[in-house]
Amino acid sequence: MAKIKYIEHNGKEHVLEVPNGWSVMEGAVKNLVPGIDADCGGACACATCHVYVGEEWLSKLEPKSDMEQTMLDFASEVKENSRLSCQIKVSEALDGLVVRMPESQH
Amino acid sequence: MSDRIVIVGAGQAAAQAVQTLRAENVAAPITMIGDEAYLPYQRPPLSKKFLAGELEAERLLIRPVEFYKEAAVEIRLGQKVVALDRKAKAVRLGSGEVIPYGKLLLATGSRVRRLGGPNAELPGVFYLRDIADVDAIRPHFKPGARLTVIGGGYVGLEVAAVAAKSGLEVTVLEIADRVLARVASPEISSFFEAEHKKAGVAIRTRCGAVSIEGKGKLEAVRAGDDRINADLLIVGIGILPNMELAADAGLACDNGILVDENARTSDPDILAAGDCTTHPNPLMNRRLRLESVQNAIDQAKAAAHAMAGRPRPYAEVPWFWSDQYDLKLQSAGLSEPGDARVLRGEMSARKFAVFHLRDGVVVAVECVNAAPEYMIGRQLIAKKARIAPERLADVNTPMKALI
Ligand SMILES: Cc1cc2nc3c(=O)[nH]c(=O)nc-3n(C[C@H](O)[C@H](O)[C@H](O)COP(=O)(O)OP(=O)(O)OC[C@H]3O[C@@H](n4cnc5c(N)ncnc54)[C@H](O)[C@@H]3O)c2cc1C
Ligand code: FES
Using the Cα atoms of residue B318, residue B323, residue B329 and residue B330 in order, give the sign of their dihedral: positive
ipTM over 0.85: yes
B chain contacts of residue A39, beta-carbon cutoff 8 Å: 293-294, 297
Measured from the Cα of B110, ligand 1's closest atom is 30
Q: Which residues between 61 and 80 in chain B have a beta carbon less than 8 angstroms from any beta carbon of chain A?
A: 61-64, 66-67, 70
Q: What's the CA gap between A52 and A7, in Å, rounded?
A: 10
The residues near B56 (Cβ < 8 Å, ≥ 6 apart) are none
B120, B231: one domain: yes
Integer angstrom CA distances of residue B337 from B183, B184, B387: 11, 10, 19
B219, B330: one domain: no
B347 or A71: which carries more pLDDT confidence? Answer: B347
Q: In terms of residue numbers, what domain contains B140?
A: 114-235
Mutate one of A37, A40, A106 to test the B interface: name it (highest B CB count within 10 A): A40
Q: Which ligand is nearest to the Cα of residue B330, counting in written order?
A: 1
Write out pLDDT tens, residues B52-84: 999 999 999 999 999 999 999 999 999 999 999
Using the Cα atoms of residue B42, residue B48, residue B49 and residue B50 in order, give the sign of their dihedral: positive
DSSP B57: G
For residue A56, the domain's CATH number is 3.10.20.30
Give the alpha-carbon dihedral of B7, B10, B13, B14, to 10 degrees: 40
Q: Which ligand is nearest to the Cα of residue B17, counting in written order?
A: 1
Which of the four pLDDT bands, split at 50, 70 and 90, describes residue A106?
Answer: confident
Q: In terms of residue numbers, what domain contains A74?
A: 2-95
Q: What's the CA gap between B271 and B191, in Å, rounded?
A: 40
The residues near A63 (Cβ < 8 Å, ≥ 6 apart) are none
Residue B162's nearest CA partner among B175, B184, B176, B147 is B147
Q: How many helices (H) and strands (E) does chain A have?
A: 2, 5
What's the number of domains chain A is made of? 1
Does pLDDT of A75 surpass 90? no
Contact A73, A7 (CB under 8 A): no
Residue A60's nearest CA partner among A13, A96, A14, A23 is A96
Mutate one of A39, A44, A67 to test the B interface: name it (highest B CB count within 10 A): A39
B297, B359: one domain: no
In a domain, residue A103? The reply is no
User: H or E element: which one contains B15?
Assistant: helix B12-23
pLDDT recorded at residue B262:
98
A21 close to B (CB below 8 A): no
Does pLDDT of A22 surpass 80? yes
Write out pLDDT tens, residues B142-176: 999 999 999 999 999 999 999 999 999 999 999 99
The CB density around residue B337, as the number of other CB atoms within 10 Å, is: 5
Q: What's the CA gap between B288 and B274, in Å, rounded?
A: 11
Contact B235, B150 (CB under 8 A): yes
Write out pLDDT tens, residues B191-236: 999 999 999 999 999 998 899 999 999 999 999 889 999 999 999 9
Average pLDDT, chain B: 96
pLDDT recorded at residue B1:
72
Residue B179's φ and ψ, nearest 5 degrees, are -70, 165
Burial of B143 (0-12, 13-18, 19+ CB in 10 A): exposed
Write out pLDDT tens, residues B269-312: 999 999 999 999 887 788 999 999 999 999 999 999 999 999 99
Q: How far is the CA of B186 from the centre of ligand 1 (A)?
A: 27
- Please say which residue of B251, B276, B307 terminates a domain: B307
Q: How far is the CA of B90 from the centre of ligand 2 (A)?
A: 38
Does pLDDT of B337 surpass 90? no
B290, B218: one domain: no
Q: Which residues between 60 and 99 in chain A have a beta carbon less than 8 angstroms from any beta carbon of chain B?
A: 66-67, 70-71, 73-74
